[in-house]
Every structure is written in structure tokens, then in C-alpha cells.
Chain A
Amino acid sequence: MARKQPAKGPFNLDLSLERNKGALIAILYDIQEHYRYLPEDVLKELAQKIGKPLIEIYRVATFYKLFSLKQRGRHQLKVCTGTACHVRGSERLVEEISKSLCVCRGETSADGEYSLDTVNCLGACALGPLVEVDGEYHGNTTPQSLKTILEKLKSGENKE
């Protein structure tokens, strides 16, 4: 695979264009990875560089769930609401997180710390309900075990 983006500093759009041979979704994926969302000025620059109207890029960016036009939280929480997790009570976990971290489903908390999303299926149905915190999966989550996970997160033990 071609060169990776530098870990820090501004996003190198040219590098991403070259690496992905102009494939729009892959480029947006890179931008999202870097900023945790798609900033407007970067999309404008992208539109200019690939010679497409901005609205077309917005159309793609808003269609795919992977992308966000709003800044996402420093910590990303995802609750799997696939069928197997649903019948084992994932809905209640969403509510608990929502209350505990003051963040609505699909949104970011006011302090910019936490984002809460629901995902359709993480593919580990045997261990449902599943909660993902900053990329780490927690299986067989109960409201009790969730409490421990959230307390750890709040006290900063979960820092990347």
C-alpha cells in the first residue's frame, strides 16, 4: 500500500488523491479518519481538485453513514442494534449511555467528548449485546457492566 498520512498536522489531500487513484469514497474515508468528520473547507478543496461540483460530493458524503459533516466526539461509542443484540436488550444500553453521558443517539455531547451511534451489526452476534468504545468491543454487556465501562471512560482510563 502507498504512503500513509502523517499522524499529526494538516491533512494531505494530494497524497490521498494519489493513493486512492481519485476514488471519491476512499478519499472521504481518509478525510474522516484524519479529522473524525468531513470539514467543509477540505470538501471544497477536494471539489476543486477533482473537478466536480461541491454538491455532488455532499450528496455522497451525506448518503453514507460512515461520514459525518459535524465534528465527532473524542470518544466514540457505538451500540450494536443488530437483531441478535436487539432481542437481548441493546435498546436499554443506548438509553443508559444517553443518560449517563448526556449525549443523544447519533450526536455528540456538548463538551465534544462523546459521540453515541447505533450500528446495524458488528458481526459478533453470539456475544450480544455489544458495545464498542473507541474501537474496543465489549461483549455480553449488561446495564451493570456498562456502568463500569462508562466510569472507566469518564475517569480517563480509556485514553487512546
Chain B
Amino acid sequence: METKEAVRSVEALARLAGFHRQARQKVKTRILVCAGTGCIVSGSLRVMKEFERLLADRGAAAQLAGVAEVGKGVGVAQSGCHGFCQKGPLVRIDPYGIFYTGVRPEDVAEIVDTTINGGKTVERLLYRDRDGLACCNQEEIPFYNSQTRIVLKNAGLIDPEDIGDYLAAGGYTALAKVLTEMSPAEVTEAVTRANLRGRGGAGFPTGLKWKEAFHQKAWPKYIVCNADEGDPGAFMDRSLLESDPHAVLEGMIIAGYAVGARHGLIYVRAEYPLAMKRIAIAIEQARETGLLGEDIMGSGFDFDAEIFVGGGVFICGESTALISSLEGQVGEPRQKPPHLAERGYLGKPTVINNVETLANVPVIINIGAPAYAAIGSAKSGGTKIFCLTGKVNNTGLVEVPIGVPLAEIVRGIGGGVPDGRALKAVQTGGPSGGCLPAEMLDLPTDFEELSQAGSMMGSGGMIVMDDTTCMVDVARYFINFLRDESCGKCFSCREGILRMKEIVDDITAGRAGDETLELLKETAEMVKNASMCGLGQSAGNPVLSTIRYFEDEYLAHIQDKKCPAGVCRSLISFTIDADLCTGCTACAVKCPTKAISGEKKQAHTIDAALCDRCGICLDTCRFDAVRKG
């Protein structure tokens, strides 16, 4: 069967999938090298090249010697992001599911000898759990086996640049079912009964959005995939686009069918070049296969998709601003209503769904709405992907049923805080979210529960902070971020955030008086209440949530002029413990402001007037003699 032939019916799709499945069964051993952004940073592409070179070499050499081909039945492919970037570069060897972490090009020869040819594992490259036990395959690793990976099910297991892999894994069967067995209203009904809510942050019921757009008379209609993942500390959309782009595309085509749209637009951040490349390849391959274009699978339904590059502006993630940006204008939000379902892109009915939301759609169709709804909490079905980062042992992508307690993610899957330090707070929801203290870890990760606690679900960033993180500094960080990103349309947001920044700057610099805290609260409330779009309405959250749970820390800055975590530069000082200092001069040599003086082999001292508190001396000292306080 010709693989390039366009699929004209559901039966043809099944035949093509069968062909790809069979072709893959011929490969006895498959080496999958992670080629997500994270692993590429760690050097996975060099590892992949080394595998290819070595296997080609050995195959050729063996042939010459007249023995069996070593390279036969062994395939090397790239995979998308496994979500465990910290341990990268990652290599998975199927069908055994052997999972190697931190693989260097130098390790490749040993893997080929020991695992591919010898059938044994390379012990030192295996992941070790907390008790030091080696995990032979990926499914044994606690980080993975405590997750519920239904959206990320293909991530790391398929080659994202090969539609054959997606088809072999059962891809586009949901689309086939939708086009042949369901009416658009039935699709929307399934999504509604599944309790699917927007994963981009606000948690609006997806079914409702689709229904509203479906009932619009105007034409044409548009589906927009929001891949402008601007929240710092969140990368699930990048990862999904990089690891399983066809799943997003399939969800988008189904959404198009449900609302009666024939055009799909994918708005991707310019900062995600790889995600952009992969979704572009996916679109190209889907077109060639006949899964995009006219009369998809002989159903009479037409749909096509194209990519737009974002301009690196956070506010463009807001739906109305995104539409303006798509239209080639300045990305400023506008007042709603009219809702986008009524007046969206080019004034036509438009549905905007987040990448993760769309990737959930094929899952709902495949497993059925009741099964999907049963996974999540009472009000929201399914799973949520969180990006667990910051001061936590296992960082990466974590997919869990909506509603599991924070502790299960941070302590369970994340493995707690490293270096024996104390967990202080968990920040969720990105710049619009808030910081929750360690005492609240039992809180379920649900849209409503998180909002009530003064934070929000947001797009899924989850940043763990330990006792070396200053909460006032965190608030200051987010205010600075929001000040940069406020589009300036509403006075309250433009000027209010600026005032908040000045106040918090004063606090961290030790210039604030007793009245400051009240003023800060009042300003934050004002920005929340008087701004038009989501950015302004939630801009007070980082400040209000940190004041709510960490007021003591603010007071320490304001009244005692101290930063308990030792972060705010103006409020800390460095000294050298004369008893521990050996006079090795290492710190004096490195000090950029020449603030450290002392004779060789004599205790050194720091001149507070010259010291700019950069902390290099603290990092340099091998005798723990530098004190921060």
C-alpha cells in the first residue's frame, strides 16, 4: 500500500494505520531519543547522531565480516518531550521500556553493546528512586507511575514528526468516529457531559463555548488554537506541540466539526521555534494524508489549519487581544460582550481553545464522556498537566486528575524539596495566580478551590519555593512582570501596577513606613476591581496572596528592615567568620568590588560600604566562613 495516498474513507484510515503498525512491528528494538527543547539543551541531538553513526558502522562492519547484521531490526527515532527534562538527555528503548537518564554521547557505545546486543541494562544510566533502587523501565519510576497520563499518553513514545507513529498508536480514530457516527450537536454534548473546561486558565466550560458558536448564523466560522503560552514557568503547551502535535490537530478538526468551522488558526509564541516546526510538519503530513483539506474521509466536511507567529507579548494570550493580533493589529483586549462566539476573528464567530484543551478532545471521544468525567473532580472532568518547577526534586510535566491535593503533586510525584530544606510555598497560576503556604498543601487542585484560596489554576505552572525564597521578592518579581506586560489601555492597570511596583520596591529596599502595607493592599484591590481584562483583574493576586499568608515576612522587611530569606539585597549583609576563615584569599580575588581585604593565612574582612552584596564570596568560600544575614 502506498503510504502517501490520501485517506478517503474510515476504512482507508484503518488500513493505513494497520500498515504503519505492521511496519513498526518489524523493528525489533526501537531506540527513542528525546528531542524536546529540554533534552536538546542537554545535548540529546548529539546522542542521537552517535546512535545513528554507531549502528550504521557496526551494521556495515558486521556485514563485511560475514556475520549477522547487527543493525538489523534496530531503529533509531526521535521522540517528543517526556516531561522529565531535568534528567535529560533521555533515551527509551522499546519494546522493553528501558529508560536511561543523563545519557552522553560517550555512553552510546556501551548501550549498544550491553543493551541492544547483550540484552542487559546499563545500571549506571538507570533512574534511581529515593531508596536508591534502580528502575529498569519507565513505568517503574515513581515520577511516572503516580501520574495519570491520558493526554500525554504518546509523549516520548512516538516520533512527533511522523504521522505514521501517531496513526499506529490509534491516532485520528476519534476524528473518524466523529465524522461518521456523530452529529456536531452530539460532539458538543459529549464534551459538555465530560465536564471539559478550558485549560488555558479561566476554566470556562468548553461545551458551552462550542454550543454558542454553533448557533451563530454568520459565516465563515473560525477555530483558534491558543498556543501563546506566556506564563513564565509553564511549558505544557510547548511540550504537547513538540511531543504529540497531531493530537492537538485532531482535537482542532473535531472542534471545527462541532461548531461548523472550516478554518483553524494556530497562534504560537515566537519563543517556541521547535513547537512551531513540529506543528507545521504535522499540518503538512495531515494534508498529504487527507486528514486536512476537502471532504475529510469522504464525510463531506472540509477543514484546514494554518500557523500564526505571536509577537512575544503576554497579553496576546487574552482572547480578544489574540484576535486583534491575528488581524495584524496591536494586541489590546476589548470589552466583552460581544463574545468571540459572536464577533471574533474578522468579525466572525470564533472559538478559542487552548492547546491542552484541544488535546483532551480526542481522549473524550475515544474513552467516552462518562469515563472521562469520572477521572476528574465533580465540577471538572479529566486531568490537568502541571509544570512542576522551582525548588523541588523532580521537575517536569506532571499529569494528574483534576482535584488531587497539592501535596500529592509536590511531595509525592515531585519528591519534595531538595537539600533537606523546608517547603515554604507553592505558586500556582503564573503571574495571575498566588502563593499558597505549606500548611495548605491538602488543598485540591481544582478551579474553584484554588480561586477561593486566593490563587488560581491558571495554565498549570506550579513553582515550589523553599525557605531561601523571599515572598516579597516573589511578589515584586510578578509585579515587574505585569508592569512590563500591561498593555496600558486601562488607567487602573497601567498606573496601578506601577504604583504597586514602587511600593514593593520601597519595601525590599528598606524605605517603607508602617502605612505601606495598607496602601499596597488598597492599590491591589483597586487594580483588580477597575480593570477590564483578566490581566488587570488578577494583577493584585501575587501581592494579596503573599500578604494574606506571609504578612510576617512583609512586616520583617518594613519594621525590622530585615529579609528573613536573605534575598533582598538592600536588607542583607555579608560577614566573614574569623574562626572559620583560613585566609586562602579566594573570595578576595573573586570579589568584583574589591570589598574583601586581609593578609594571606589571616582572617579576612568585608567592607560593608564597598560590598554590593552579590554573594560571590559565599559561593566561593570552601570553608563555610562567609555569613549572610
Known: A66-B270, A128-B389, A130-B41. A123 touches B311 (CB 8 A): no
Is A123 touching B235 in the complex (CB atoms < 8 A)? yes
Q: Which of A21-29, A36-44, A107-115, A148-156 contacts B (4 or more CB under 8 A)?
A: A21-29
With a cutoff of 8 Å between Cβ atoms, the chain A residues found around residue B229 in the complex are 121, 123
Q: Decide yes or no whether B491 CB sits under 8 A from chain A.
A: no
Mask for B453-476, Cβ within 8 A of A = 1, else 0? 000000001010100010000100
Q: Decide yes or no whether A69 CB sits under 8 A from chain B.
A: no
Is A65 touching B469 in the complex (CB atoms < 8 A)? no
Closest CB in chain A relative to B355 CB, distance in Å? 12
Mask for A69-91, Cβ within 8 A of B = 1, else 0? 00000000000011111111000
Is A63 touching B313 in the complex (CB atoms < 8 A)? yes
With a cutoff of 8 Å between Cβ atoms, the chain B residues found around residue A24 in the complex are 328-329
Mask for A48-82, Cβ within 8 A of B = 1, else 0? 00000000000110011111000000000000011
With a cutoff of 8 Å between Cβ atoms, the chain A residues found around residue B614 in the complex are 92, 95
Report the contact-size class of chain B (Cβ under 8 Å from the partner): 35 or more
With a cutoff of 8 Å between Cβ atoms, the chain B residues found around residue A82 in the complex are 232-233
Cα-based distance from A100 to B316 in the complex (angstroms) = 34
Q: Which of B170-178, B203-211, B366-374, B390-398 contacts A (4 or more CB under 8 A)?
A: B390-398
Cα-based distance from A32 to B465 in the complex (angstroms) = 38
Known: A65-B311, A87-B463. A126 touches B231 (CB 8 A): no
Q: Decide yes or no whether B591 CB sits under 8 A from chain A.
A: no
Q: Decide yes or no whether B448 CB sits under 8 A from chain A.
A: no
Question: Which residues of chain A from 104 to 160 have a CB within 8 Å of any chain B CB?
Answer: 119-128, 130, 137-139, 143
Closest CB in chain B relative to A122 CB, distance in Å? 6
With a cutoff of 8 Å between Cβ atoms, the chain B residues found around residue A83 in the complex are 232-233, 389-390, 427, 430, 461, 463, 477-478
* A80 to B, closest residue via Cβ: B232
Of the candidates A25, A126, A130, which one forms a contact with B311 in the assembled complex, judged by CB atoms under 8 Å apart? Answer: A25
Q: Decide yes or no whether B224 CB sits under 8 A from chain A.
A: no
With a cutoff of 8 Å between Cβ atoms, the chain B residues found around residue A86 in the complex are 232, 477
With a cutoff of 8 Å between Cβ atoms, the chain A residues found around residue B430 in the complex are 83
Q: Which residues of B contact A (CB under 8 A)?
A: 37-38, 40-42, 84-86, 88, 229-235, 238-239, 270-272, 280, 308-309, 311-314, 325, 328-331, 387, 389-391, 395-396, 427, 430, 461, 463, 465, 469, 474, 477-478, 481, 485, 487, 592, 614-616, 619
Q: Given A67-B311, A87-B469, A120-B485, 8 more contacts at CB 8 Å?
A: A24-B329, A66-B270, A82-B233, A123-B37, A123-B234, A123-B238, A124-B85, A127-B88
Closest 8 A/B residue pairs (Cβ):
A64-B311, A82-B232, A24-B328, A123-B235, A126-B85, A83-B233, A84-B389, A121-B232
* 20 residue pairs from A and B, CB less than 8 Å apart: A1-B280, A24-B329, A25-B328, A26-B308, A26-B309, A29-B270, A63-B330, A64-B311, A64-B331, A83-B389, A84-B463, A87-B463, A123-B37, A124-B37, A124-B38, A125-B389, A127-B38, A127-B42, A130-B41, A138-B41
